[in-house]
Amino acid sequence: MKMFTYERVKDYQEAVEKIQKASGQVSVISGGTDFLNNWKDQILTEYPEKILQLDQIEGAAGIKRVKVSAIISQCGSLSQENGTAWQKLTDVSGEEGVSSGVGASDEDAADGWRIGAETRLSELASQNEIPILAEAAGSIANEQIQNQATVAGDLFQDVRCKYYYHFTDFMGGCVTCNRKGGDFCCAMHGESPRHSVFWRYVYTGLTLPAGMSAWHEYPRLYQRNPERKYPEGGTDPA
């Protein structure tokens, strides 16, 4: 196992500075349950030299009611403006937006919820006013893991592919698949297609039901193999 150094940051700005200054690879964790599993099983090809934990950042945790309609009306149509709209959304809903009254937590005018990135899953599971999210968070793993894992870490967790999680210890070693810098996908050509929940016929074994992180990964994979040939019936999402 490769050793790493650990550090906990109190600020997003501080985290960015430390990532820029670091010489080797830096990984960012919040709860750390997903990373520790990968690290112990030795399934990765590259390991970080430094770990930054973000779970104590001020203001990043917590669930509160906000006025969402004001934020969206300022941003305009998300589909038309593409990338800039998301940037605006994050700018407006940030702390500056709250102080200027746009995203203020006024109970009467509030029509939506703001869930912090570092909110623990147990906190979301006990929020009975958002029943569908509470039920979803409460169904994850067990009580111990829910007390450690965070919402952002859950959305950005690693893929849940059986081939991706093939251990080093036995039966041929870990698989260097598409997700680890290789150029093939075992879930597509392997014995079972059921490892892939989304986009089985595309090119990657994205088995994670949390769709946000799946979309997050598409551009990177697309650039890696631009001339890749897809199986018959497959489509290109990009």
Residues that bind another protein in the complex, under the rule CB under 8 A: 1, 3-6, 8, 32-33, 36-37, 40-41, 51, 53, 55, 122, 138-139, 141-145, 147-148
Between 102 and 118, name the residue whose CB sits nearer to another protein.
118
Say if CB 162 and CB 170 are below 8 A apart. no
Shortest distance, position 209 Cβ to another protein, whole Å: 17
Residues 6 or more apart in contact with residue 197 via CB below 8 angstroms? 206, 207, 208, 209
What is the smallest separation between the CB atom of 75 and another protein, expressed in angstroms? 36
What's the token pair of residue 48? 């970080």
The DSSP H or E segment spanning 27 is strand 26-29
Nearer to another protein by Cβ, of 3 and 171: the residue is 3
Nearest approach, Cβ of 179 to another protein (angstroms)? 20
Tokens of 69: 């309609």
Task: Report how far apart, in Å, the C-alpha atoms of 114 and of each of 33, 98, 136, 151, 221 are.
Answer: 24, 11, 17, 12, 31
Using CA atoms, how far residue 87 sits from 6, 68, 74, 75, in Å, is 30, 15, 12, 9
User: Is 81 or 143 the residue whose CB approaches another protein more closely?
Assistant: 143
Q: How far is the CB of 9 from another protein (least distance, A)?
A: 12
Give kind and range of the element (H or E) at residue 218. helix 211-224
User: What six digits make up the tokens of 207?
Assistant: 């088995």
Q: How many other C-beta atoms lie within 10 A of the C-beta of residue 10? A: 11
Q: Quote the least distance from Cβ 148 to another protein, whole Å.
A: 5
- Give phi and psi for 234, each to the nearest 5: -80, 155
Q: Which is nearer to another protein, 74 or 127 (CB)?
A: 127
Q: Which is nearer to another protein, 137 or 188 (CB)?
A: 137
Name the residue nearer to another protein (CB basis): 119 or 178.
119
Shortest distance (Å) from residue 161 CB to another protein: 17
